[in-house]
Structure 1
Amino acid sequence: MLFKIQREQLLAPLNQICGVVEKKGTLPILSHVLFSINEDELRLTTSDLEVEMNSFTSVDTEFQGEMTLPAQKLLEICKSLPDGSIMEFSLDDNHCVIKSGDSRFSLSTLPANDYPLLEDVETFETVTIHSTHLSRMLKQTIFCMASHDVRYFLNGLLFEILNDKIRCVSADGHRLALSETDYVNQAGISKQILIPRKGVMELNKMIRDVDQDIAIHLGKNHVSIEVEGTQMTSKLIDGKFPDYQTVIPLDMENDFIADKVQLERALRRVAILSNEQYKGVKFKISTNHLQILGHNPDQEQAEDSIEVQTSITDMETAFNVGYLLDAINVIESDQVQFSFKDPLSSCLIKHPDRLDCRLVVMPLRI
């Protein structure tokens, strides 16, 4: 026997790190998890060559060494066993045999020496932020990241430290999201890094139920974060994020403030009959009144109205309803403010009294 471990001791770290596992990758070993045992500590590692996850737990063993196992299959085995089960691992030629009670599994292994670990990881600066602030900023920006865009610098999140602020910014070419928090910048750090999409998603998962300070270690090519026994190291996107400040509209002469719940429900109702491809809805704004209209190629139409606070007397504009719903859902307020320069300009969506979260949506022509 190589080692034995309680099911829950293995299941928790596997759940933390299996999100980066390549399910249909070209490199078979990336579908495996690397087991590294040193004395009584077990380190589990997964990687997709861009993001590397490590999780640590204790183990009962005299074995010292490494092996790999298929990550998703091992995770499903752990999930299927009863609570409190003891799992015993042993090697048989090129297979690892797992026994637990009357259950027996034989999994194929691959050479541990072939597992590709991130190299040359250097970090030079550390930023500490409480998990609740970081979680809020991610929630308010993560939905706006591009996916597989040829403009590779959009396929991730801008993390910026400047003066007394930490900002997260994302954009996909049609919309932009910015969220910020105050930061005591004693070291005078001024830095921008671009974290790839998968790294951002894993970070968001790591801090979801955590209430503690998070140390973010910044380097030239990598970022590293450790939370409750799980460490994520991610390569950075080598590119320059667009000047987001120029995208955020200024000097807007027109705005309205709406009840968030009423607006969301009206948008969802009209969205039912909006064009399935473009999801466009039209806003007709008049004195203290917002009319929302949608239609589709089958000549079907939907219309809804809500009362709003506004000085606009007559204005029409249009937007992707999905983008609007994404934006208003992350505003932490009972009310939401929409601001416009003119009917053909982008729209700024924010809290009526704060600027810590700003969302920009480009208009449609319908």
Structure 2
Amino acid sequence: MFEWYFLHTNGEFILAVATDGHRLSKCSVSGELDKKFDGIIIPKKSVFEISKLLEDYSESVKINFSKTRIKLTFGNVQFISKLINASFPDYESVIPKDNNQTMTVDCKSFSETIDRVSTISDDKLRTVKFQILNGSCTVSSFGNDKSIGTETLNVDFNGSQISINFNARYILDVLGIIKSGKVKFHFSEKTAPTIIESDSFKNNVFLIMQMRA
């Protein structure tokens, strides 16, 4: 799970942001706001409990908070938690603005490919390499015994040749949320993080740091 869970508004939307330093997730939702607020940081354990409670709940949720506590009210449930007294990093500064190379691929097929190929890797990060060129993406992984796993998929790609490494688990976590349909990877020509988006989650942005070769 992420280490930081930040809730704030921009005057128009309620924004939820989570990060662990290697990846970031941002979601914006509309809601009735009394006023704009700078933000609160919710403990990881509390977010986990809230997620379980709201898993099968589809109605509105009322949120009240002070500088030290947050209260969620929904149905017959009231959930109260302490808040973390800290400053959240300036996450907007790490979201790239010029990732102009985009790969579009089927979510389910890509997830299954990464899962199969990454089992070859012996390291705990399950490192995978994407090599993208001329409408195809080759996913590779390497074991300490010189074993190699590789598969190639057809993709839509509007950039030049790319070779980039990722933690397979981070990619699979995002694809596991999106589940189906097309997913877009926005790459940078430099070493900036990769942005992942999907039409199924139009209000969400996922950010993943690339790994060194």
Q: TM-score range by the shorter chain?
A: over 0.9
- Could you tell me which residue of structure 1 aligns to residue 154 of structure 2? 307
Change (3 A) 1:170 1:319: same
Name the CA distance, whole Å, in 2 between partners of 1:345 and 1:172.
16
Distance 1:249 1:275, change over 3 A: farther
Q: 1:206 aligns with which of 37, 53, 69?
A: 53
Shift of 1:296: 1.7
2:41 aligned residue: 194
Instruction: Supply the distance in 2 between the matched residues of 1:332 and 1:166 (Cα, whole angstroms).
Output: 24
Mapping of residues 1-366 of structure 1, within 5 Å: 143=1, 145-146=2-3, 154=4, 157-185=5-33, 187-331=34-178, 334-342=181-189, 344-351=191-198, 355-366=202-213
State, as a whole percentage, how many aligned pairs show the same letter.
25
Higher relative contact order (CA 8 A, sep 6+): 2
How far did residue 289 of structure 1 move? 0.5
1:242–1:355 Cα change, 3 Å: farther
Task: Judge conservation of contact 2:108–2:179 (CA < 8 Å) in 1.
Answer: no
Question: Shift in Å at residue 343 of structure 1?
Answer: 5.2
1:248-306 CA distances to partner (integer Å, 9 max, x unpaired)? 11111211100111101110111110233221101100011000000121211100111
Q: CA deviation at 1:163?
A: 1.1
Q: Tell me which amino acid in the other structure corresponds to 2:104.
A: I
Larger Rg: 1
Tell me by how many angstroms 1:229 deviates. Answer: 3.0
Give per-residue Cα distances to partners, 1:4-32, cap 9 Å, x unaligned.
Answer: xxxxxxxxxxxxxxxxxxxxxxxxxxxxx
Distance 1:184 1:333 in 2: 31
Amino acid at match of 1:174: H
SS at match of 2:175: helix
Give the alignment's Cα RMSD to 1 decimal.
1.7
Deviations 1:208-236 (A, max 9, x none): 22232211111111001133333221110
User: Are 1:340 and 1:348, in contact at CA under 8 Å, matched by a contact in 2?
Assistant: yes
Q: Is the alpha carbon distance of 1:332 and 1:192 closer, same or farther for their aligned partners in structure 2, counting shifts above 3 Å?
A: farther
Report the 3-state secondary structure (helix = DSSP H, G, I; strand = E; otherwise coil) of the residue aligned with 1:213.
coil
- Tell whether the 8 Å contact from 1:206 to 1:227 is kept in structure 2 after alignment: no
Shift in Å, 1:330: 1.7
Structure 2's unaligned 5+ residue stretches are none
In the superposition, relative to structure 1, how do residues 352 and 254 fare at CA in structure 2: closer, same or farther (>3 Å)? farther
In 2: Cα distance, 1:238 partner to 1:332 partner? 35
Query: Normalising by structure 2, what TM-score?
Result: 0.93
**Deviation of 1:355 (Å):** 4.6
Q: For the Cα contact (< 8 Å) 1:257–1:352, is it kept in 2? A: no
Show CA shifts across 1:110-162 (max 9, x none): xxxxxxxxxxxxxxxxxxxxxxxxxxxxxxxxx4x12xxxxxxx3xx111122
Moved more, 222-231 or 164-173: 222-231
Number of residues of Structure 1 aligned to a counterpart in Structure 2:
213
Structure 1: stretches of 5+ with no match in the other structure: 1-142, 147-153
Q: CA 1:352 to 1:251, structure 2 compared with 1: closer, same or farther past 3 Å?
A: farther
Task: After TM superposition, give the deviation of residue 340 of structure 1 in Å.
Answer: 1.1
Whole-Å separation in 2 of the counterparts to 1:229 and 1:256 = 45
